Amino acid sequence: MPLVYIGMGSNLSEPALQLQDALTAMNNIHQTSVVQVSSCYGSKPMGPAEQPDYVNAVAALETSLSSMALLQALQKIELQQGRVRKKERWGPRTLDLDILLYGMEIINEPDLVVPHYGMKQREFVIHPLFEVAPDLTLPCGTSVAALLKCIPHNGIKRLPYKIGNHI
């Protein structure tokens, strides 16, 4: 089974609880189990500044689902937790679940690009990803450790609580 990394984010409706509920839901996806989860990190929003800060984390999953079946399951979780998809990019949301990596596969489909197209530039992805997989190398050959050294900090902070303690 491939090891899959999921970027998680929320800035509405009790974000830490949203991430905890998402972890529980991901662990209940058929043929899927959460094997590790990072600490939570606080970050400034990428989009409009007039929104709350985000809480972000990364979860590592094992799954025998295809990448597209996993994407559909993740989108279902987002909807169940009140995600509303709007035309506005990077706006506030109850939950955002992104497939960052699906094993070492490179996927370029209309609905799914893996590795996630923006992950190398996003401190709120690289910091928690490094925490769960410090020795990870991306399919392009770049290590997460190297990315961590050169990515701007942008005020990211590790939060004093962790989700997933019961997973």
- Active-site annotation holder among 93, 111, 135, 158: 93
| Domain span at 68 | 3-158
How many domains does the chain contain in total?
1
Secondary structure (DSSP) of 120-163: GG-HHHHHHHHHH-TT-B-TTS-BHHHHHHHS--TT-EE-S--S
For residue 165, tell me if it sits in a domain. Answer: no
Can you give the pTM of this predicted structure? Answer: 0.93
Task: Check 85, 89, 98, 135 and give the catalytic one.
Answer: 98
pLDDT digits 0-9 by tens, 24-82: 999 999 999 999 999 999 999 887 778 899 999 999 999 999 999 999 999 999 988 87
What pLDDT score was predicted for residue 137? Answer: 96
> 104 with 115: CB under 8 angstroms?
no
**Within a domain: 164:** no
Residue from 96, 111, 122, 135 carrying the catalytic annotation:
96
Please work out, in degrees rounded to the nearest 5, the angle formed at the alpha carbon of residue 74 by the alpha carbons of 114 and 119: 35
46 vs 103: which has the higher pLDDT: 103
Half-sphere exposure of 101 (CA within 13 A, CB side): 24
45 located within any domain: yes
Flag whether pLDDT at 166 surpasses 60.
Answer: no
Is 163 part of a structural domain of the chain? no
- Does 166 reside within a domain? no
Average pLDDT over residues 121-147: 96
Q: Does residue 86 fall inside a structural domain?
A: yes
Measured between alpha carbons, how far is 32 from 123 in angstroms, rounded to an integer? 27
Contact 61, 26 (CB under 8 A): yes
Q: What is the CATH number of the domain that holds 133?
A: 3.30.70.560
Does some domain include residue 167?
no
Active site residue 135: no
List alpha helices for 28-112, DSSP H: 67-80
Give me the mean pLDDT over the 94-112 stretch: 95
Burial class, 75, CB count within 10 angstroms (exposed 0-12 / middle 13-18 / buried 19+) = middle
CA–CA separation, 8 vs 51, rounded Å?
17
Q: Mean pLDDT over all residues of the chain?
A: 91
Task: List, in order, residues 6 or more apart from 51 with CB less than 8 Å away.
Answer: 11, 45, 91, 92
- Residue range 95-122: average pLDDT? 94
Please check whether residue 115 lies inside any domain of the structure.
yes
Which position among 53, 83, 85, 111 bears the catalytic label?
83
